[in-house]
C-alpha cells in the first residue's frame, strides 16, 4: 500500500516537473519559431540561443507590481487562474506515456492513473476548463473582461461538443474507455493509427483542440487587438503568468491526447523492440521518447498555425463550431457505426 502511494507520488512529481519545464520552454519555442517564420533572430541575448529566456520571463513576472482592480471580487478573482491551471495540469494523470518500466523488480506502468474511464475523465476536465475563463472574466469587474469571458465560455463549450463526439468514434472502435487500450489497438504500423482509419475524427478533434486552448485562429477571447486582452485584461504579474502557463499546459495536454488517441501513442511503427530483445525498461523509455517526439511535433504545429493564420471573427468561429465541425463529427460517427456493423477490417470490429 505504501509502495503504491510512493510510486504514485514519485510519478506525479516527475511528470509535474517535466510538464512545467516543457511549459516554460514553450515560451522559448514559440518565440524562436515565430522569429524563424518572420525572418528575424528571436531571443538570443539571454544565454546561448536565448535558452535562458523563460527564466528571465519568469523573474520578470515575479517582480512585476501586482495590481488588483477596485471593482474586482477578490476571492473569485484570485481563484480563477488557479482553477484554470489546475484543470489544465490535471488532465495529464490519465495519459499513458509508455508501456511500463521495471525498477527493482517492480513493473511500473507509465501512466499516473490509467483509470477505466480515461476518455470520460478527459472530457470532464475539459468541461471544468471553461470555469476559469468565465469566472476570471466576471470577477475582474470590467466590461472588457466580462465580454471576453462570456465569449471564451461560449467558444469552449461549442467546441467541446465536437471534441466529445469525435472521441465517440475512437471509443466505438476501441471498445473501451481506457486510454492505454486505445493506444494498444494502434499497434503495428501507420495504417493502424486512428488518424488514418478515422481522418475526419482526427481533424475535428485537432481543430477543436485549437479552440479549447484559445489558440489562434480561435483566440478572440484573449486577442490583444480585440477586447484589449479579453478575460485576462485586469490580471498582472504572477496571476497573468498563471494564465499563460495554464494555456501552454493545456496545449501540452491536448497534444498528448491527440498523440495518444490518434497518432498511435507511444508506438514506433516498423520497429518491434520486444523481438529485438531489449529490456523492459529500455523499451519503456524508448516509448516515452517516441511519445515525447510526437507531442513535440504537435506543439510546433500549434505554434506554426498560430503565426500563419489570421484570427476568426466571432460569428465565423461559432459557425465553424456548430455548422461545420459538429456535422462532420456526426458524419464520422455514422461512418464508424456502419463500418463496424459491416465488419470493415481497419475499423477493428466490436468483438465483445
Partner 1 sequence: MSLEALPLEMIVFVVTAVVAVVAALLVVLHRNPVVNAVALIVNLACLAVFFLLLRAPFLAAVQVIVYAGAIMVLFLFVIMLLDLKAELHPPRAGAFQRVMAVFAGAAFLSLMVLAMRRSRSTFAMKEVADAGHGTVERVAEEMFRNHLVSFELASVLLLVAMVGALVIARAFAETPDPQEPSA
Return residues touching partner 1 (CB under 8 A). 1-2, 4, 73, 75-76, 79, 115-117, 120-121, 123-124, 126-128, 130-131, 134-135, 137-139, 146, 149-150, 153-154, 157, 177
Nearer to partner 1, 26 or 325 (CB): 325
Nearer to partner 1, 47 or 141 (CB): 141
What is the smallest separation between the CB atom of 154 and partner 1, expressed in angstroms?
8
Q: Which residue in this structure is represented by grid cell 485576462?
A: 232
What is the smallest separation between the CB atom of 170 and partner 1, expressed in angstroms?
15
Which residues make Cβ contacts (< 8 Å) with residue 164, sequence separation at least 6? 123
Mapping DSSP to helix (H, G, I), strand (E, B) and coil, where does residue 83 land?
Answer: helix
Distance CA 46, CA 43 (A): 7
Alpha helices in 43-142 (DSSP H): 53-63, 74-90, 118-139
Nearer to partner 1, 1 or 276 (CB): 1
**Do the Cβ atoms of 247 and 237 come closer than 8 Å?**
no
What is the smallest separation between the CB atom of 39 and partner 1, expressed in angstroms?
43
What is the smallest separation between the CB atom of 157 and partner 1, expressed in angstroms?
6
Distance CA 61, CA 179 (A): 37
Q: DSSP string of 183-198? A: HHTT-SSGGGSHHHHS
Q: State CA 60 to chain mean position distance.
A: 26
What is the smallest separation between the CB atom of 300 and partner 1, expressed in angstroms?
30
The three cell numbers of residue 218 are: 480561435
Distance CA 108, CA 127 (A): 30
Nearer to partner 1, 87 or 251 (CB): 87
With the C-alpha atoms ordered 255, 258, 259, 260, is the resulting torsion angle positive or negative?
Answer: positive
What is the smallest separation between the CB atom of 98 and partner 1, expressed in angstroms?
25
Nearer to partner 1, 153 or 284 (CB): 153
Nearer to partner 1, 35 or 123 (CB): 123
Which residues make Cβ contacts (< 8 Å) with residue 59, sequence separation at least 6? none
Amino acid at each position: 500500500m505504501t509502495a503504491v502511494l510512493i510510486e504514485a507520488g514519485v510519478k506525479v512529481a516527475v511528470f509535474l516537473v517535466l510538464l512545467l519545464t516543457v511549459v516554460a520552454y514553450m515560451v522559448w519555442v514559440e518565440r524562436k519559431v515565430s522569429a524563424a517564420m518572420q525572418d528575424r533572430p528571436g531571443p538570443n541575448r539571454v544565454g546561448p540561443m536565448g535558452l535562458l529566456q523563460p527564466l528571465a520571463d519568469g523573474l520578470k513576472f515575479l517582480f512585476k507590481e501586482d495590481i488588483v482592480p477596485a471593482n474586482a471580487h477578490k476571492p473569485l478573482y484570485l481563484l480563477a487562474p488557479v482553477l484554470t491551471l489546475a484543470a489544465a495540469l490535471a488532465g495529464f494523470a490519465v495519459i499513458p506515456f509508455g508501456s511500463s518500466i521495471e525498477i527493482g523488480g517492480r513493473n511500473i506502468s507509465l501512466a499516473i492513473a490509467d483509470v477505466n474511464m480515461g476518455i470520460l475523465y478527459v472530457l470532464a476536465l475539459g468541461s471544468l476548463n471553461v470555469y476559469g475563463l468565465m469566472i476570471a472574466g466576471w470577477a475582474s469587474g470590467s466590461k472588457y473582461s466580462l465580454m471576453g469571458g462570456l465569449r471564451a465560455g461560449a467558444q469552449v463549450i461549442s467546441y467541446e461538443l465536437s471534441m466529445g463526439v469525435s472521441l465517440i468514434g475512437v471509443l466505438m472502435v476501441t471498445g473501451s474507455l481506457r486510454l492505454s487500450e486505445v493506444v494498444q489497438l494502434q499497434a503495428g504500423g501507420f495504417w493502424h493509427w486512428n488518424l488514418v482509419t478515422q481522418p475526419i475524427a482526427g481533424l475535428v478533434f485537432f481543430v477543436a483542440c485549437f479552440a479549447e486552448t484559445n489558440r489562434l485562429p480561435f483566440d478572440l477571447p484573449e486577442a490583444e487587438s480585440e477586447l484589449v486582452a479579453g478575460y485576462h485584461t485586469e490580471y498582472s504579474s504572477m496571476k497573468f503568468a498563471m494564465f499563460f502557463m495554464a494555456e501552454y499546459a493545456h496545449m501540452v495536454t491536448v497534444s498528448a491526447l491527440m498523440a495518444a488517441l490518434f497518432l498511435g501513442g507511444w508506438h514506433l511503427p516498423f520497429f518491434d523492440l520486444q523481438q529485438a530483445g531489449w529490456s523492459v525498461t529500455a523499451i519503456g523509455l524508448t516509448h516515452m521518447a517516441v511519445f515525447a517526439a510526437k507531442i513535440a511535433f504537435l506543439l510546433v504545429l500549434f505554434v506554426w498555425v498560430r503565426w500563419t493564420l489570421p484570427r476568426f471573427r466571432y460569428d465565423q468561429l461559432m459557425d465553424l463550431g456548430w455548422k461545420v465541425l459538429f456535422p462532420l463529427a456526426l458524419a464520422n460517427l455514422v461512418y464508424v457505426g456502419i463500418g463496424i456493423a459491416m465488419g470493415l477490417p481497419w475499423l477493428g470490429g466490436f468483438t465483445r
